[in-house]
Structure 1
Amino acid sequence: MGRTLVILGVLGSLCLGVLALTGAEWPFGRAAAAVAVAGGEQPPPQDYVDLRTVAPAAPAPPNGPDASTGSFAEDCGRNAEGHRNSDNVVTSPGITDGAHHTHDYVGNLSTNAFSTDASLEAAATTCTDGDRSTFYWPVLRRLDRSGGPGSGAHGNTGRILEPVSVRVEFRGSPVSPVVPMPHGLRLLTGDPVAATSDGSLTRAAWGCSGLPGRSTELYPRCPEGSRLTRTLDFPSCWDGLHTDSPDHRDHAVFPAANGVCPHGTFAVPQLRVVVAYEMPSGAPFALDSFPEQRRSPVTEHAVFVDEMSDRQMARVADCLNQGRRC
């Protein structure tokens, strides 16, 4: 009788977990969800690497004669306001908790599952230049600390780590001028289900501030005194027609390794966001993720919605095309 009650209790917990995992961003069926809920909450040791053992990346190819060599940085804060939720207005619009993991936001202060271009345009922003765009990514948690928003939901235990800095920068193309992004453009980078997919969309680039030029798809162990970093590079080849697409990717893709955009696409300012954290050496940490992704580092991802005015975006493109640092 005792064993029967235990089995029933476990099955009941699994069923509750499956029922909770609904929403447009959830990519798997109920059987996969049940297995995920039964799994652990902390990544295995092989998901971590001492970054000093990782070879530096090969140097980028030289710029061509028509390159847009400028850069444009803006100060959008580091989410000191605590703007967080488990929504995803791009992939799960209109669904509260559609992401099943918590996101950190900078920029627009109103972003949630029900946001529209009109509501974003009317909201306040953390960007000092008035840019009302929204930038967001899954939070990072320290696993040997408990509590905090969303702790334990969908297996994402631990206390949220506050970024010590967030750098938002637009860069040019190494082979051509850029055209302004269209207002309302939606961009995704990385793959929130990379641990169970073919990995083709993985864009994880974890690093340490004291080891520039090195990055890894694994969680890095950084030397004492070095900050943990996440570099989030977004696609920069736009199809010239659409601000979104059914898979949220076909309308804007990454250039080839030499910087050339695919035929039929146009180079737009390339967005890079670098998030940094103070992390004691050896402290356990992990991303928020879908349950079946087991908080894998390769599930790193981020989202951008362009709400700059046409004048602001034209200023960005001009800065890049003229080779200035703005």
Structure 2
Amino acid sequence: MSYTSFREPEASPPPSRPGLLRRLARDRRSMAASVAAVVIVVAAAVVYLADAATKPEVSNAANALVDTPPSAAQAEALGASPSASVSASVTPSAAATASAATAPKIPRTGWVPVDNTAWKAQVSAYNALKVDPVPAGVGNLPEFRADCQYSHSLPDDPIVAPGLPGASHMHSFVGNKAVDANTVAEDLTKFTATSCKPVQDHSAYWVPTLYDNATGKPVETTGFRVYYRSHMSNSTGQMPMPNGLRMITGDAKKKKPTPRGATGQFYCAFYGPGDLDGIARSTNGNWPICGGDATLHFMMQFPDCWDGKHLDSPNHKDHVAYGAGNTCPRSHPVKIPAITFDIRYGAKGTPAGYYLSSDKEGKSASSMHGDAFVMWDVDTMNKRTKNCVLQRRTCDNYGYQK
């Protein structure tokens, strides 16, 4: 799409009307500015629409499980070309080119193809990597982790509502400190200040903000551990995470009560014996009241299988899947570490209870959900996955847990 430049009319007013001359000059400047603004807005819309990829063909065997990892399907996934791409022959005018250079980046949505060159390079480096010797006493839990602290809060969601600041309910972010509605993968590698350890984890993680129902004040996380682990009994075919992978778990629209014993509820964490459901409940029954030294916690698990082709999908879930029977489905043959959020809050519970920003009216915990925008130093991700998850050895933030 191209745009023609605006041309001023050649007629000039009579010389006996100096006031009209000045007004016409002002009107011309105003009209030129308005046209320039229209060009900028239209150019931004072109960028946004060009980035909206269409949904590719998806295997009907999405839920079909196999007994052993499908090596042929996995090999195809590891070398697959992007199944969704946008091609156009566009010769923008100078005005459109200039406006595109100054317009903010709009994150891509829909089916976002993996950078196949970068992924192949990561796979090659991972396959060539030798494991480090395991010190005596290291456990056999196949996992590594990042320990994070609360960073900031914004009504933004660069996965669900990219490029739309203020369009989301309030989220509490940990990890990359520069994240907002306009964040794209390249930003996570450029702005690497983080609230996580190790600092080689440039990822962003976020959940809906928790509020005290009695005061309306936020209750922020006091600890946020992100595990990367295997939930399967073997690590055959285990691969690292691709950078730029985006996914969510949970359902922000779910608004069911969470009484004692319900799934998807907050629980009381004890270092020793104790009642996970709390010694009492809030008046509405949805929130535990913890005894002793216990405080509120929440855990959530992300999928551990990937289609090998896309970094995101329209619902932010279809490009990943949960494994079963110690293997991945044919539609998602690449075995990746399962992210697990272990979230601690500095609160014990009260009769008034709490509410999430995603369900202020219902005041249940069922709308709790999590977002992960993965970005690690590639060498660190490869080494942790091979040493810890593939070898099935327990690691902490920095390597083997001694």
TM-score range, shorter chain: 0.5 to 0.7
Higher relative contact order (CA 8 A, sep 6+): 1
Cα pair 1:65 1:175 within 8 Å, conserved: no
Offset, 1:253: 1.6
User: Hey, what's the Cα distance between the residues in 2 that align with 1:203 and 1:187?
Assistant: 21
Identify the residue that residue 315 of structure 1 maps to in structure 2: 383
Identify the residue that residue 224 of structure 2 maps to in structure 1: 166
Paired residue secondary structure (1:276) = strand
Q: Which runs of 5+ in 2 are unaligned?
A: 1-66, 70-139, 257-261, 279-284, 396-402
Cα pair 2:286 2:363 within 8 Å, conserved: no
Mapping 1:1-326, distance limit 5 Å: 69-76=141-148, 78-79=149-150, 81=151, 83-99=152-168, 101-123=169-191, 124-130=193-199, 131-145=201-215, 158-177=216-235, 178-195=238-255, 204-210=264-270, 218-256=286-324, 258-265=325-332, 266-283=334-351, 284-289=353-358, 294-318=362-386, 319-326=388-395
Offset, 1:281: 4.4
Offset, 1:195: 2.1
Paired residue secondary structure (2:383) = helix
1:224–1:95: structure 2 CA closer, same or farther, 3 Å change rule? same
Cα pair 1:190 1:203 within 8 Å, conserved: no
Paired residue secondary structure (1:165) = strand
Q: Which moved more, 1:127-136 or 1:204-213?
A: 204-213
TM-score, normalised to structure 2, is 0.54
User: Hey, what's the Cα distance between the residues in 2 that align with 1:223 and 1:213?
Assistant: 8
Q: Which runs of 5+ in 1 are unaligned?
A: 1-63, 146-157, 197-201
1:95–1:281: structure 2 CA closer, same or farther, 3 Å change rule? closer
Q: CA RMSD in A?
A: 2.9
Larger Rg over CA atoms: 2
Cα pair 2:208 2:370 within 8 Å, conserved: yes
Offset, 1:273: 1.2
User: Hey, what's the Cα distance between the residues in 2 that align with 1:220 and 1:236?
Assistant: 30
Cα pair 2:296 2:348 within 8 Å, conserved: no
Identity in percent: 28
1:141-182 Cα shifts (integer Å, max 9, x gaps): 11222xxxxxxxxxxxx1111322211211114233221111
User: Hey, what's the Cα distance between the residues in 2 that align with 1:248 and 1:87?
Assistant: 16
Cα pair 1:135 1:303 within 8 Å, conserved: yes
Aligned AA (2:354): F
Aligned AA (1:260): T
Cα pair 1:203 1:301 within 8 Å, conserved: no
User: Hey, what's the Cα distance between the residues in 2 that align with 1:242 and 1:212?
Assistant: 43
Cα pair 1:232 1:302 within 8 Å, conserved: yes
Paired residue secondary structure (2:144) = strand
Offset, 1:278: 2.8
Identify the residue that residue 36 of structure 1 maps to in structure 2: none
Q: Which moved more, 1:210-219 or 1:294-303?
A: 210-219
Offset, 1:120: 1.6
Aligned length: 239
1:207–1:260: structure 2 CA closer, same or farther, 3 Å change rule? farther
Offset, 1:119: 1.3
User: Hey, what's the Cα distance between the residues in 2 that align with 1:280 and 1:220?
Assistant: 8
Offset, 1:268: 0.6
